[in-house]
Amino acid sequence: MTSVIGAGAFGTALAISLSRSGAEVTLWARDVAQVAAMATTRENAARLPGMAFPDALRVSDDAGSLPDGPVLLAVPMQKLRVALDDLPDFGPRPLVACCKGIELSSGLSPTQVIAEMRPDAPAAILTGPSFAQDIARGLPTALTLACADEGLSADLQSTLTTQNIRVYRTTDVPGAEIGGAVKNVMAIACGAAIGAGLGDSARAALMTRGYAEMQRMALALGAQADTLAGLSGFGDLALTCTSDLSRNYRFGLSIGTGEGFDPSVTVEGAATARALKARARALSLDMPITDAVVDLIDGTLGVRDAMTRLLSRPLKEE
């Protein structure tokens, strides 16, 4: 039995996919009215309209009654600590982060926040190129499950693999987490470039040099280079930087076009960019695209000026 904390689009999609494969799944939400509506309509009309809940999926607003088994934490990165602070003690059950980014206040990754808040619970992260709508519709998706405990990683891999989600496993947790964090920042950069009319060649350059920044940060934190070439690195970067379904990419588009962006939409890359800039400074790492994204978000630099700044950097070998 598996529980999913957070009835946003991604948490709901995971719950649908897992339960569609026959597993008993509980989807938890804090909002009593939302839970009542989902129980009645058998769908999450607010986040994934038209996606019917399988019979094996139950909904609940009582976190204390969740069944034994892994707990998937499908909450935004910047709300993960608050969620863990409010939720009851789940004991030795594995806690699997389903968010991407770096906590702005502490500079910690998802599993590091879990380890700090719940030191007795095994921590893992599920990450990789995926959109909630694709998962809920049953479209083929491949994800990475990163966990330092190889035995637990294999167990979770089996539990979380569904009819349409193929899960690969790794023990390189830092690599998987940095890949998922940095790709959101690069998606903002790519969206801004396209929104400003700088073209697909500029986007390709940003993706490639953004991948170099991803590797630079990950290797400095002890990650393995091969991990960044996988789903949680290159794969997620390719998807997020090229699709309008990406909230980070759409946020970048709004910067490039000068249009407003819905403040209610969670953009993980905005806070993560600032956190990564601080981490890079502490590690004496050069991450010029990340720095430019922070300036774009703050409004201290325009898109074309940012590109000019990047293009005028000293020449060097690739």
Q: What pLDDT shows up at residue 238?
A: 98
Number of domains the chain is built from: 2
Regarding whether 215 and 155 lie in a shared domain, the answer is: no
Same domain, 270 and 124: no
- The answer to the question of residue 316 being in a domain is no
- 79 catalytic residue (yes or no): no
How high is the pLDDT of residue 203? 98
Q: Which of residues 171, 191, 215 is at a domain's end?
A: 171
* Structural domain ending residue among the three candidates 140, 171, 202: 171
Domain boundary pick from 112, 147, 171: 171
Whether 151 and 25 share a structural domain: yes
Quick one: 9 and 150 in the same domain? Answer: yes
Structural domain containing residue 260? 182-311
Write down the catalytic residue from 79, 100, 183, 316. Answer: 183
The greatest distance separating any two alpha carbons of the chain, rounded to the nearest whole angstrom, comes to 62
User: Is residue 249 domain-shared with residue 144, that is, in the same domain?
Assistant: no
In a domain, 44, yes or no: yes
pLDDT at 91: 92
Q: Which tokens go with 1?
A: 């039995």
Question: Is there a contact between 98 and 72 (Cβ–Cβ < 8 Å)?
Answer: yes
Rounded to an integer, what distance in angstroms lies between the CA atom of residue 233 and that of residue 134? 19
Q: Are residues 8 and 98 in the same domain?
A: yes
Contacts 24+ apart (CB under 8 A), 41-49: 44/7, 44/9, 44/12, 47/7, 47/8, 47/9, 47/12, 47/132, 48/9, 48/12, 48/13, 48/16, 48/132, 48/133, 48/136
User: Same structural domain for residues 162 and 191?
Assistant: no
> How far is Cα 1 from Cα 60, in angstroms, rounded to an integer?
14
The pLDDT value recorded for residue 21 is 85
Compute CA distances 106 → 27, 148, 214, 241, 275, whole Å: 29, 21, 20, 27, 8
Band of pLDDT at residue 22, cut at 50, 70 and 90: confident
Residue 106 maps to which CATH number? 3.40.50.720
Residues 137 and 271 in one domain: no
pLDDT value of position 123: 98
Q: Give CA–CA dist 275/294, Å, rounded.
A: 10
In a domain? residue 124: yes
Q: Is residue 317 part of a domain?
A: no
Residue 63 lies inside a defined structural domain of this protein: yes
- Verify that 122 and 199 share a domain, yes or no: no
Q: Considering the chain, what is the average pLDDT of its residues?
A: 97
Could you tell me the pLDDT band of residue 260, with boundaries at 50, 70 and 90?
very high
Q: Same structural domain for residues 126 and 186? A: no
Cβ pair 155, 131 in contact under 8 A:
no
Question: Is residue 318 situated within a structural domain?
Answer: no
Looking at the structure, tell me whether residues 270 and 130 fall in a common domain.
no
219 within a domain of the structure (yes/no): yes
Spatial strand order of the sheet with 2-5 comes to 57-60, 25-28, 2-5, 71-73, 95-97, 123-127, 141-146, 165-170
Q: Are residues 8 and 146 in the same domain?
A: yes
Q: Is residue 176 part of a domain?
A: no
The pLDDT of residue 237 is above 90: yes
- Of 55, 102, 80, 56, the residue nearest 5 (C-alpha): 80
Other beta carbons less than 10 A from residue 298's beta carbon:
11
Question: pLDDT > 70: what percent of the chain?
Answer: 100
Question: Per residue in 34-84, pLDDT tens?
Answer: 999 999 999 999 999 999 999 999 999 999 999 899 999 999 999 999 999
Q: For the domain that residue 241 is a member of, what is the CATH number?
A: 1.10.1040.10
